[in-house]
Structure 1
Amino acid sequence: MIPLLALLLAADDPAARCVSLARADPAEAERMAERWSLTGGAKAKQCLGLALTEQSRYGEAAAAFEDAARAAEVAKDAMAATYWAEAGNARLAANEPAKARAALDAALAAGTLQGMERGEAHLDRARALVATGDTKGARDDLDAATRDAAADPLAWLLSATLARRMNDLPRARADIAEALKRSADDAQVQLEAGNIAALSGDETGARKAWSAAQRIAPTAPAGVAAAQALAQFNGDHSNEKKP
């Protein structure tokens, strides 16, 4: 349980109230942020970004986070890097990878992100770089992501996927093994494990992983793709000559 003192402190903290409200009632959080923005500076703009994100209005959310980042930079507030990172993530969700990269460049250039937060920014920038065709840059960012955000299975999954696409199967196998350690119940992880096993000539491993992906999420894109991959092993022998 949350201590009573913490609850009382949160009640007096508009930023904490906003985070809670954004999850429970994002439309009301948006209205709160708009009122608060008259006096609240960067934190109020971040609040607006969070409320818009919860409503899946990602382009608008990104703009709000970018406004927060600029306000924080003017105020010499180290939180600017966090706001840029949030903007980059929202730009990715809005399918705007070039703008995402620009925001994430700003987040990482600040030099104030640490640990997991820095790793997640590298991970998001890698996603933006892949989307814009810069696989070499993405490789460098994924190396940083698997170091600083090693607990995140997505970092290992994307690193394995990129390694497979770059025909580096030893790296792909090593990284997908790390993803499986952290999230074996994720259909996307199992699908990629099957893809890598198949390219490595491991039919048994491919069957096992694809079957797991299909079982975990039979109607999701990863499960459907796994089912299609498994179909190649079943074979259609209808056109074969009978003895």
Structure 2
Amino acid sequence: MMLLALALLQAAATPSDAATEARYERCIDLATTNPVAARSEAGKWQLANGGWFAHQCLGMAYATEGGWSAAAVEFEAAARAAEVAKDKRAAQYWAQAGNAWLAGGANDKASAALNSALSAGTLTGLQLGEAHLDRARVLYATGDLDGARRDLDAALAVVPEDPLAWLLSATLARRAGDLPRARKDIAEAESRTKEAPEVQLEKGNIAAASGDEAGARAAWGIAAVGKGAAAESATRALAQFYAK
């Protein structure tokens, strides 16, 4: 989804040693601008005992290239190495691994990694909120709507500015038959990213479920102008009106 702001693209806490920190920052900069060069640098750093920082940098490089499985494997390696050293960054790396597995469609592996991240009890702020949101997305995809609701409410309490959290919350509410909450939550999502096709598609879905044909037409019409799966779904939804 275009609204997804990947937590794994946010750099984890940097090391305290000045030399290691400098190398880490260079590697992360390469990972987001020149991932091929970053993979080479991270590989050399691993051979020089770069530990979890080298693994995390390599994971970032793979993520920039869209190699989600490879990225997740490296983030998990970083998490395990940090756990052995009893470093609290381990939870951050587990969260990044879960995010990467989720992006690659591996829900079971994403669930395991996110459970490890959240059970550590060391995530705070944005990282905590995004981990709850990612786990909610996994639970939603696997049909555990009650579990998804719990994680979504936890995410919204920490990252209320995230439009994806409001969008998923609205979708969950509609599926549960709670149309007042669905309308409220989709309005929150829309206020944060008005023209996003995913938001307008769901706004139309909620309007249709509420018996508001005009509202459904309007929202789906906006969504259909965009690109991607949401735009295609909106176009198909609009076709029912032309078939009458």
Distance in structure 2 (CA, Å) of the matches to 1:87 and 1:178? 29
- Are the aligned partners of 1:129 and 1:138 in contact in 2 as well (CA < 8 Å)? yes
Secondary structure in structure 2 of the residue aligned to 1:13: helix
Tell whether 2:101 aligns with 1:94. Answer: no
- Kindly provide the CA deviation profile for residues 168-191 of structure 1, in whole angstroms up to 9, marking residues without a partner as x: 212211111110010111011000
Aligned pairs, how many?
226
Give the counterpart letter for 2:52 in structure 1.
A
Q: Does 132-141 or 226-235 show the bigger shift? A: 226-235
Larger RCO (CA within 8 A; separation ≥ 6): 2
Give the counterpart letter for 2:151 in structure 1.
D
Q: State the 1:36 CA deviation.
A: 0.6
- Are the aligned partners of 1:98 and 1:132 in contact in 2 as well (CA < 8 Å)? no
Distance in structure 1 (CA, Å) of the matches to 2:156 and 2:183? 14
Distance in structure 2 (CA, Å) of the matches to 1:12 and 1:104? 26
Structure 1 residue ranges without an equivalent (≥5): 1-8, 237-243
Tell whether 2:243 aligns with 1:221. Answer: no
User: Among 137, 153, 156, which residue is 1:127 paired with?
Assistant: 137
Alignment of 1:176-195 (within 5 A): 176-195=186-205
Give the counterpart letter for 2:53 in structure 1.
K
Structure (1 or 2) with the larger CA radius of gyration = 1
Query: 4+ residue runs of structure 1 moved beyond 4 angstroms?
Result: 9-12
User: Among 12, 16, 22, which residue is 2:25 paired with?
Assistant: 16
- Are the aligned partners of 1:10 and 1:16 in contact in 2 as well (CA < 8 Å)? no
Q: Does 167-176 or 102-111 show the bigger shift? A: 167-176
Distance in structure 2 (CA, Å) of the matches to 1:110 and 1:11? 25
Structure 2 residue ranges without an equivalent (≥5): 1-17
- Kindly provide the CA deviation profile for residues 38-61 of structure 1, in whole angstroms up to 9, marking residues without a partner as x: 311111110011011112111111
Q: State the 1:11 CA deviation.
A: 10
TM-score (norm 2): 0.88
Corresponding residue of 2:56: 46
- Kindly provide the CA deviation profile for residues 108-130 of structure 1, in whole angstroms up to 9, marking residues without a partner as x: 11111112211100000011112
Distance in structure 1 (CA, Å) of the matches to 2:196 and 2:236? 18
User: Among 41, 44, 48, which residue is 1:32 paired with?
Assistant: 41
Q: Does 98-107 or 130-139 show the bigger shift? A: 130-139
Distance in structure 2 (CA, Å) of the matches to 1:30 and 1:59? 15
User: Kindly, what percent of the aligned residue pairs are identical?
Assistant: 57
- Are the aligned partners of 1:50 and 1:61 in contact in 2 as well (CA < 8 Å)? yes
Q: State the 1:12 CA deviation.
A: 6.7
Alignment of 1:49-88 (within 5 A): 49-88=59-98
Alignment of 1:107-146 (within 5 A): 107-146=117-156
Q: Does 159-168 or 191-200 show the bigger shift? A: 159-168
Give the counterpart letter for 2:135 in structure 1.
R
Give the counterpart letter for 1:23 in structure 2.
T
Distance in structure 2 (CA, Å) of the matches to 1:220 and 1:74? 43
Give the counterpart letter for 1:212 in structure 2.
I
Give the counterpart letter for 2:24 in structure 1.
A
